[in-house]
Amino acid sequence: MKDTSLLLLLSSLFCCSTNAARLTVTPSSSQVFRNEPVSLRCEDASDGWTVRRSTSYENRAECEDWGTPAGSSCNISSSDPVDSGVYWCESTEGSTSNTITITVSGGSVILQSPALPVMEGDDVTLTCRTKMADPPSADFYKDGVFIRTESDGHMTLHHVNRSDEGLYKCRVQNEGESPESRLSVSERPPTSSLHLVFRLICHLVVFCPYCISTFLMVSIYRERARGSDPPTHAEQGLDDDYEDVMSAVTTEHQF
């Protein structure tokens, strides 16, 4: 019974969370030059999660077909434009993670932009790169419309919001322009106090039925045992289990 109480407690701790993996990429950019290494990793992943991709040449291909697997990671030692595509993590049961779009450029200019969605209200810097030099003076565009010229090749968007989402690219005089990459902005999660209230409600939903049923069983056994023989091992076990659960609930919901 004590083991059952512990399992219920652990289950409640994760009742409002997700066990899905999260895909990250190194370097953390949606564009890379040809021959640059790329490493993809399934974070927060249990056994059985692997990296897959879809490109113009293949669909839902496993890491073994195009990279070097390393546990829940997949590495491309020397990228090629054929590696451009959509990547994600997938479990043996078919669950999937977020997706990341990677563009491998065979040209001379790329735009370094976040591969993952950025948080609403954060500052984001886009960098125009060439193969042969530090970031040069570059023109920046969004959805095909010129934004501005930056002399150092860096353009910072302050306090981004949903209106900043779109396709960005950059152009360097006498070098060419980068491919386009989408900048996505995600909503900022709820404040910590609201999150704690939400977790508290979730824990109560899990624990209340179990606590009530345990309390009723213990009360019945105590009533039967009152004025008669000493409690049996089963009755004593119920008492101990009830005390363990109530102690766990009290400890868990102390803010």
The DSSP string of 136-161 is: --EEEEETTEEEEEETTSEEEE-S--
Total domain count for the chain? Answer: 3
Q: Look at residues 106, 121, 154 and tell me which one is the last residue of a structural domain.
A: 106
- What's the predicted TM-score (pTM) here? 0.67
Between 101 and 248, name the one with better pLDDT. 101
Residues 167, 199: one domain? no
Place of tokens 């219920």: 8
Residues 98, 62: one domain? yes
Please state the φ and ψ torsions of residue 50, each to the nearest 5 degrees.
Answer: -135, 165
Lowest mean per-residue pLDDT among 21-30, 85-94, 239-248: 239-248
Q: Look at residues 188, 219, 241 and tell me which one is the last residue of a structural domain.
A: 188
Residues 127, 163: one domain? yes
pLDDT of amino acid 16: 42
Lowest mean per-residue pLDDT among 27-36, 132-141, 222-231: 222-231
pLDDT of amino acid 14: 40
Burial label, 116 (beta-carbon count in 10 A; 0-12, 13-18, 19+): middle
Cβ within 8 Å of residue 190, ≥6 positions away: 198
Residues 99, 113: one domain? no
Convert the pLDDT of each residue in 152-163 to its tens digit: 999 999 999 999
Compute the CA torsion angle 72, 77, 80, 84 (nearest 10 deg).
Answer: 20
Distances (CA, A) of 193 to 116, 169, 204, 205, 251: 26, 39, 17, 19, 18
Note whether residue 5 is domain-resident: no
pLDDT at 119 over 70: yes
pLDDT of amino acid 202: 56
Q: What is the mean pLDDT of residues 110-119?
A: 96
pLDDT of amino acid 190: 72
Convert the pLDDT of each residue in 186-215 to its tens digit: 998 775 555 555 566 655 555 556 556 666
Q: Look at residues 136, 159, 188 and tell me which one is the last residue of a structural domain.
A: 188
Residues 112, 162: one domain? yes
Q: Which of 186, 203, 142 has its CA nearest to residue 167? A: 142
Residues 179, 194: one domain? no
Please state the φ and ψ torsions of residue 147, each to the nearest 5 degrees.
Answer: -100, -65
Range of the domain at 61: 18-106
Convert the pLDDT of each residue in 51-96 to its tens digit: 999 999 999 999 999 999 998 999 999 999 999 999 999 999 999 9
pLDDT of amino acid 188: 85
